[in-house]
Structure 1
Amino acid sequence: MILVIFDMDGTLIDTQALITEHMTATFHGLGLEAPSPEKSRRVIGLSLPVAMAHLADTQDAVLVDQLVEAYRGHYRASLVTDASREALFPGALDALKRLNARDDVLLGIATGKGLTGVHRILGLHGVADYFTTLQTPDHNPSKPHPGMVQSAMAETGVDAAQTVMIGDTTFDIEMGVAAGCKTIGVTWGYHEPRELIAVGASTMIDRYDQLDGAIRQLVE
């Protein structure tokens, strides 16, 4: 059995503009200078408290909690007005359908999003039933700690040699490498391809129609 684990933001769904807008509103709402879109983009994939501490350059737990709650408020409000801004990247749905149809593949998620948001987005795109394991910071350390991948492997009973982590940031690749599994970097996400290669991506893809071949090359 092969376990294929996907990151969400920047890998499956295109949320960069939405996230950076909410970061700006969050920091301005607390009277703080907002991070640039580039800085916001760089922390996508981390758990929200870790990302906020980094962007605010603080270890003040009270301030971090305020930023986290304000950001979540902005995000919830946006779901009422424009839920369509969490679109799948081109080719992602077809790739998920192909993999889900295989008897020798299990699918998983490892993301910095909370579990409630993961369930909502998978339901929005009609793919909730495709995934056997969902790993989030609700019950795991933030990326790049290998905990999410380790939890996914433990839950499915698949060992590292037959596990592939797919992501767009160095956090995803470092997490997979630390867990001992193969890693596939995608070039359309939030960190530069050269950065993913530098931290140990096993291979890179430019389009989702290349994913099946990359998986076959690594674990089959």
Structure 2
Amino acid sequence: MKLVIFDVDGTLVDSQAHIVSSMAAAFAEAGLPCPDRSTLLSIVGLSLPYALAELAPQAEPHTLERMIAAYKDTFSAIRQNVGAQGFPLYAGAEAAVRALGARDDVALAIATGNSRRGLDAMMADWAFSDLFVSAQSADEHPSKPNPSMVAACLADANASAAETIVVGDTTYDMEMARAARCHGLGVLWGYHGRDALMSAGAARVLDDFADLPAALDEIWKG
């Protein structure tokens, strides 16, 4: 069985405005100056505690805990206010997932830096969520690029690393794939650029979701 593991933020879902707003609330809670938008988005993909520690290295542990709580509360409130329409799938994402899910030789999974609560809420709005045989969140695993989430997906799908491709928009996704001895496939509609993704180990980098099926088959053929 071949396996495709998708990242969520920046790969399937465009949530950058809500991430920025929630980060601003976290920094306001700590009374710290908020980094600029590009800096905030550069750490998308890391689990929240690691992301905030990276963005606010001067913050004491108790301050980071307050920031984490403020981020989660703000993000949850945004989700409740805007609903599914506020977390749109990227163009072509649903069609690509459904096409892969219809194949007998391919299983699908998710590995995200989102919390379990956030991931479950998001997937509850997807009419295609039942196509994923495994969905791993930051609450059960170390942060990317640790390969723990990939290992869980491999076990759930009964797939081998050699036949598995991680699809993501950040270097953390590509490094995670490499650490798990899987293939990495980068996408350019998220947060990290082509050169960074290739340097982190991406076998290919896509400009459009429509190119995904052909790119996957090309990697599998070796």
Q: TM-score, normalising length from structure 2?
A: 0.96
- Across the aligned residues of Structure 1 and Structure 2, the Cα RMSD in angstroms comes to 1.2
After superposition, the C-alpha distances for 1:84-119 in whole angstroms (9 at most, x for unaligned) are: 221000000000110111111110000000122112
2:210 is matched with: 209
- How many pairs align? 220
**DSSP 3-state at the match of 1:87:** coil
* Alignment match, 1:38: 38
State the AA in 2 paired with 1:182: H
Counterpart position of 1:47: 47
Q: What is the SS of the residue equivalent to 2:32?
A: coil
Contact 1:108/1:133 (<8 A) preserved: yes
Q: Deviations over 1:35-84 (max 9, x none)?
A: 21111101111001101111111463211111110001101111222122
Q: Within 5 Å, which residues of 2 pair with 1:62-101? A: 62-83=62-83, 84-101=85-102
The 8 Å contact of residues 169 and 189 in structure 1, kept in 2 or not, is answered as: yes
Unaligned runs of 5+ in 2: none
Distance (Å, rounded) in 1 between the aligned partners of 2:117 and 2:131:
17
1:200 is displaced (CA, Å) by 1.0
Check whether the contact 1:7–1:110 (CA below 8 A) recurs between aligned residues. Answer: yes
How far, CA to CA, are the matches of 1:122 and 1:78 in structure 2?
16
TM superposition score normalised by structure 1: 0.96
What residue in structure 1 maps to residue 21 of structure 2? 21
- Aligned-partner SS, 1:183: strand
**In structure 2, distance between residues paired with 1:122 and 1:152:** 17
Aligned to 2:157: 156
Query: Any stretches of 5+ residues in structure 1 without a counterpart?
Result: none
For the Cα contact (< 8 Å) 1:119–1:128, is it kept in 2?
no
Separation in structure 1 between the aligned mates of residue 128 and residue 65 of structure 2, nearest angstrom? 32
**1:12 equivalent in structure 2:** 12
> What is the SS of the residue equivalent to 2:213?
helix
Contact preservation (8 Å) 2:11, 2:168: yes
State the alpha-carbon separation in 2 of the partners of residues 50 and 145 from structure 1: 12
Indicate conservation of the 8 Å contact 2:174/2:184, yes or no.
Answer: yes
The whole-number CA distance in structure 2 between the counterparts of 1:150 and 1:141 is 12
More deviation, 22-31/97-106: 22-31
- Indicate conservation of the 8 Å contact 1:52/1:68, yes or no: yes
Provide the rounded CA distance (Å) in 2 between the counterparts of 1:59 and 1:142.
19
